[in-house]
Amino acid sequence: AQTVTQSQPEMSVQEAETVTLSCTYDTSESDYYLFWYKQPPSRQMILVIRQEAYKQQNATENRFSVNFQKAAKSFSLKISDSQLGDAAMYFCAFSQGAQKLVFGQGTRLTINP
Amino acid sequence: NAGVTQTPKFQVLKTGQSMTLQCAQDMNHEYMSWYRQDPGMGLRLIHYSVGAGITDQGEVPNGYNVSRSTTEDFPLRLLSAAPSQTSVYFCASRRGQGGGYTFGSGTRLTVV
């Protein structure tokens, strides 16, 4: 069974600085998808970024980028120029084929002004 | 653009009562899922569907029932509520394989 591990329950960063959230996963498949979701206090789950495992190029979305290391089964999220609105729970998730999303336990990110 | 609509947003049940959490999407998505979110445990899959008339169990299906008679709707039924079912429930949908799921705003359920 696939598993997703986020080893940092909490992280904090100064506003305007850069922070990296870690995620590792376990799978025997070669074709899959990885995601980062943001959950602010409003509880809404918001897709931040998506990576296709067969693509070697790391995905980027504005200030958000990933470092995808397929051999190491690592998928970290880098947030540049952190803003107060980035404060949230961040979940790493894995999906293979037509099946479900498997989520990590989440990392709570605090932005210090 | 309604996206994924969940009702109700909040609900309190007594132990043993039954209820249905509603989920509807207007994006013509094939895949729909129900998750529950408990503190410190991320989101866990309850049931999912890959199309109308097709459903399957996820990680924590006990005590829940689903059906998918239309593409748009995917209701979740609690058969006999228990305090262990106190949680936040999310419905989500996506168009096909590899697409990011779109989530509803969640239902906070308390069973007393």
Q: Which tens digit of pLDDT belongs to each residue from A28-65?
A: 888 899 999 999 999 999 999 999 998 889 999 999 99
Best B43, B48, B89, B90 residue to mutate vs chain A (most A CBs within 10 Å): B43
What pLDDT, on the 0 to 100 scale, is given for residue B2? 73
Contact B40 A105 (CB under 8 A): yes
Detail the DSSP E strand segments found in chain B. Answer: 4-7, 10-13, 19-25, 31-37, 43-51, 54-57, 64-66, 76-78, 87-94, 102-103, 107-111
Mean of all residue pLDDT scores within chain B: 93
Question: What does the pLDDT look like over A64-112, one tens digit per residue?
Answer: 999 999 999 999 999 999 999 999 999 999 988 666 788 999 999 999 9
For residue A105, give how far its alpha carbon lies from the nearest alpha carbon of chain B (Å): 4
Buried b (16+ CB within 10 A) or exposed e, B55-76: beebebbeebebebeebbebbb
Question: What does the pLDDT look like over B40-92, one tens digit per residue?
Answer: 778 999 999 999 999 999 989 999 999 999 999 999 999 999 999 999 999 99
Residues in chain A closer than 8 A to B102 (CB atoms) = 47
